[in-house]
Structure 1
């Protein structure tokens, strides 16, 4: 039996799973994991926590399209606010208009995500548009508080570093690769898409390498985006 869009709770459950996994793994890594640079587990956990950080932002992004809790705008906004805040204190209300501006004016001068240039200038332009001074202050305060209770090594490797790496993951796969270069006039979304490979598409950036498909069908949540890939 088909689930009506307004009664579809799958997005809420998936968002909860991401938040619980991110929180639970972070607590374990801060309190119980002994870092060894000779152990592959250390690097595996860094990558896994990075992926979960990216999942927080992707969830906030889906909330901007009202697809986390369809038909429940207050809950949808609450989930978006929480997941954005957990990702380095991003403020959902500030991100929301910028993201819709990106969709309306994709790859133009009015697009806050777009920059005519190579990777690094574009990346720093991207950060400048989205990072505020109060975020930096809150991150600095949190860093100094966490190191009072947990190993400095664990705080840096599993709280700070994955957040930084996740910005690269989101930018590279979700902005730079799909929007770089010139796009033909018959491409209304000025976006490319990665080759069909659902496993890599999920691992790389929660299917957002299928970026033309996202711009073409922004009503699809990340976990259904693969269905739009021909």
Structure 2
């Protein structure tokens, strides 16, 4: 539990520091303007990590023996990420694990499984509805009219990283693992495959969520354990291949 809390804090705290500094105190002029793309890139990666922490919370992996603490951290991550509801996302995510890659899977585009654009558009509309839009609008109103955050900074350093990170999460954590490939069947009923990237790239792209078949086989393993789980899975597969 201590490791899970420490790893989560290592993503949440930097996100908060960058968020506060960039949104409230960074002038969009001079040398700071040249640094803006790097800050957006860093906050995009941290936003991916923020969502992955919340995802671990859906599986009870942040603080396994403290469910209230686990849910509290996950709720906080989703709120500051984009005003999402933990309960709603957790419910739908469990449906995804129950019937992956089928018409009953809320994360799967059964009508356009080969179209990234159509799939992402449907995915975005499904999870970001009127309720989420209302919550986020209320938060933004507080930022602008109560606290006095500059609108340009909000759009650049919060809205843009959230949108870019959603594309990154969707591409590496949903589309690539679950899209059908002609002539390449899925290994089992999880209808998922892992994105074959070395650990460093796997970390930067999606905090190892691209090791997706391993995640479906071991959903309670936290994101930082997935490389070890994948190594063990590949070794077992190789041993099985040699044995036959």
The answer to whether structure 1 residue 135 and structure 2 residue 136 are counterparts is: no
Counterpart of 2:143? 146
Q: Quote the offset at 1:113 in angstroms.
A: 0.1
- Normalised by the length of structure 1, the TM-score is 0.90
Larger CA deviation: 37-46 vs 188-197: 37-46
Q: Which runs of 5+ in 1 are unaligned?
A: 1-7
Counterpart of 1:191? 192
Q: Quote the offset at 1:91 in angstroms.
A: 0.5
Tell me, yes or no, if the aligned pair for 2:59 and 2:220 is still in contact at 8 Å.
yes
| 1:1-230 superposed matches below 5 A | 8-36=1-29, 40-116=34-110, 117=112, 118-148=115-145, 149-182=148-181, 184=185, 186-230=187-231
Give the whole-Å Cα distance in 2 for the aligned partners of 1:188 and 1:140. 40
Give the whole-Å Cα distance in 1 for the aligned partners of 2:37 and 2:18. 14
Q: Which has the higher helix share?
A: 2
Distance 1:34 1:122, change over 3 A: same
Tell me, yes or no, if the aligned pair for 2:199 and 2:227 is still in contact at 8 Å.
yes
Tell me, yes or no, if the aligned pair for 1:196 and 1:229 is still in contact at 8 Å.
no
Tell me, yes or no, if the aligned pair for 1:11 and 1:68 is still in contact at 8 Å.
yes
Tell me, yes or no, if the aligned pair for 2:186 and 2:192 is still in contact at 8 Å.
no
Other structure's SS at 2:82 match: coil
Q: Which runs of 5+ in 2 are unaligned?
A: 232-244
Distance 1:108 1:37, change over 3 A: farther
Give the whole-Å Cα distance in 2 for the aligned partners of 1:145 and 1:77. 25
Tell me, yes or no, if the aligned pair for 1:67 and 1:221 is still in contact at 8 Å.
yes
Tell me, yes or no, if the aligned pair for 1:36 and 1:42 is still in contact at 8 Å.
no
- State the aligned residue count: 223
Q: Quote the offset at 1:213 in angstroms.
A: 1.2
Q: Aligned-residue CA RMSD in angstroms? A: 1.8
